[in-house]
Amino acid sequence: MRRHRNVKIVATLGPASSTHQMIRALFDAGADVFRLNMSHGSHDDHRARYDAIRAVEAETGRPIAILADLQGPKLRVGQFTAGAHELEEGDRFRFDLDPASGDSRRVQLPHPEIFAALVPGSDLLVNDGKIRLRVEECGPDFANCVVTVAGTISDRKGVNVPDVVLPLAALSDKDRADLEFACQLGVDWLALSFVQRAADVEEARSLARGRAAILSKIEKPAAVDAFDDILAVSDGIMVARGDLGVELPVYSVPPIQKRLVRKCRSAAKPVIVATQMLESMIESPMPTRAEVSDVANAIYEGTDAVMLSAESAAGAYPVEAVRTMDSVARSVEADSNYRAIIEASRQNKLHTVADAIVTAAREIAETTDIAAICAFSQSGRTASLVARERPRVPIIALTHVESVLRRMCLTWGTHCVITPQLSRFKEAVVNATRAAREFNFADESRQIVVIAGVPFNVPGSTNILRIAPCDERLIFASDPE
């Protein structure tokens, strides 16, 4: 089984998609990565979904990546005597640490870290930004505000603070427990919420201890400002546009998305464009034209993956949503304008031998009759470098490390294949030709490009390129050693 597209599809599992039968249907429809949302469901729920995914993987013989998405700290107001109150524009309203039930003039905000960071002029957003308040006066245990956008405030609604960096760790106690559970379970990627600074990512990495790759969710203005530092210490990025659209003007999100995707590609790190991509398909079997354009634009930008959230987790049409994304991806990638856009945005990165090798592989593949680029990788980095080039021919990513095999499923264009542990380059060439033929990338009459590092099994040693026939007899005849 092989996908006839390069962009990957991430599908979130939930109440609508937890059975083995449904997970298999989502995989068959085109899902490459499954997301476990740790904000919802128990550990037992996630364990059952994990086991079902691995069962589908065993049935199909194809690797599947699993991403555990940590909730992050949740900032919420307290409770009200009447349950809810209407706030009108111009009203004065106070947030404080008093646990007494709130009313139309005040409510508890049980987060002293917020008060420590606020300054007069800061904005507080309540209920996904539906209510906006401007801070006029504040102290270590209160903030007196004026309502600038009216609305209904009610029990336990979420609070966003877009203007300041909060002195809060990205990992709550719940996140730490969820992270350890997910790593013991065997997930391939950890998505880290509430990232504000590179130190947040480094803390998660120290806890993961190499058991899973770290993907940073960019959902706060502070993360956008510190993006270069965050990207440098992350294995991948998720552009979480829903939260960005709450804390930033919505019209600023598209250019931010384009900029972040471009930087991720330049760094050869996978990036997911996420949230509200086909949201109408939660209730409808057909998406809107605007949603289809949104997915298509992300693919034209060169994203590695597009993601479904509630559409596949709780919607009425999860399989149809995956099929829609698959169809959009195929249509975009078949468009001649797609190739022109992708190649125009390619950046020359020739700082290392590995950079030169993958650039040469792409140029050879595109100027001669090459069926595929076969990249051997101990860590997954070589395959990511090849994917950064966005070649016109397929990428076959080969490794003997099962965890690396699954992680590479998130990377653009990679068809991931497990191999025995190799010790000689000729063994690599033979395994590459067998994979190219087994998965119908080439027949005996075609050639492939093989890149690897010698000595083998040393991460970061990519230093050799060979053009090889897909006929093993020719391989041994031309290289008896």
Q: Confirm whether 275 is a catalytic residue.
A: yes
Same fold across 8-73+170-332 and 353-478: no
Catalytic hit among 3, 106, 275, 399? 275
Q: 10 Å Cβ neighbour count for 137?
A: 11
Q: Are the CB atoms for 408 and 380 separated by under 8 Å? A: yes
Residue 230: its pLDDT value, please? 98
Instruction: Please say if 156 is a catalytic residue.
Output: no
Tokens matching residue 282: 């939660």
**Cis upstream peptide for 287 (omega within 30°):** no
Under CATH, to which class is 353-478 assigned? alpha beta
Select which of 3, 5, 8, 35 is catalytic: 35
End-to-end CA distance of the chain: 33
Confirm whether 94 is a catalytic residue.
Answer: no
Q: What is the pLDDT of residue 183?
A: 98
Please pick, among 3, 5, 217, 241, the residue that the annotation labels catalytic: 217
**CATH topology classification for 8-73+170-332:** TIM Barrel (3.20.20)
Which residue in the block uniquely carries the two structure tokens 């111009």?
A: 90
The pLDDT score that the predictor gives to residue 447 is 96
Contact between 346 and 376 under an 8 Å Cβ cutoff? The reply is: no
Answer CATH for 84-160 from 2.40.33.10, 3.20.20.70, 3.40.190.10, 3.40.50.150: 2.40.33.10
CA neighbor of 462 nearest in space, from 401, 382, 408, 407: 382
Report field, pTM of the whole predicted structure over 0.75: yes
pLDDT by position in tens, the chain (length 481): 799 999 999 999 999 999 999 999 999 999 999 999 999 999 999 999 999 999 999 999 999 999 999 999 999 999 999 999 999 999 999 999 999 999 999 999 999 999 999 999 999 999 989 999 999 999 999 999 999 999 999 999 999 999 889 999 999 999 999 999 999 999 999 999 999 999 999 999 999 999 999 999 999 999 999 999 999 999 999 999 999 999 999 999 999 999 999 999 999 999 999 999 999 999 999 999 999 999 999 999 999 999 999 999 999 999 999 999 999 999 999 999 999 999 999 887 668 999 999 999 999 999 999 999 999 999 999 999 999 999 999 999 999 999 999 999 999 999 999 999 988 899 999 999 999 999 999 999 999 999 998 888 777 778 899 999 997 766 666 554 4
Contact (Cβ atoms closer than 8 angstroms) between residue 257 and residue 239:
yes
Cα separation, 145 vs 54, in Å, equals 51
Q: Where are the domains of the chain?
A: 8-73+170-332, 84-160, 353-478
Please list the residues that pair with 36 across neighbouring strands: 13, 68
